[in-house]
Amino acid sequence: MATKTIMLNCAAGMSTSLLVKKMQEAAKAQGKDYEIFACPASEADDKLANQEINCVLLGPQVGYMKADFEKKLEGTGIPMGVIPMQDYGMMNGKKVLEFADSLMAE
C-alpha cells in the first residue's frame, strides 16, 4: 500500500501520463512508496470520492480551474497546487515530486 497518493489533473490525461512516469521514477529513486496517477479534470470528483488522495496537482493547461478545485477540496485538508509551467514543459518529474512533497509538508 502506497504511503502517499498524488493525483495529477489535466485536460485529457494524456500529456500528464509521461510526467507521472517521470515522477514515479523519481519517487522510486528516493525510496518513496507513492501512488501517482493522472486523470482528466472531469474525473477528479469521482477519484476524490472513491480514493484517499494526499495531494492534487493541476497541469498548467487547467490552471484556470484552480478556484474550482479549491472549492472541491475545501475542508478536506488535501493540498493542491498548479504545476509550474517550466517543470511541466521539461517533464521534470523530480522537481514536480519536490513540489508535491512541499505542498504535503505545509
Q: Tell me which residues are annotated as active site.
A: 10
Burial class (CB in 10 A: 0-12, 13-18, 19+), 28: exposed
Locus of grid cell 484556470: 64
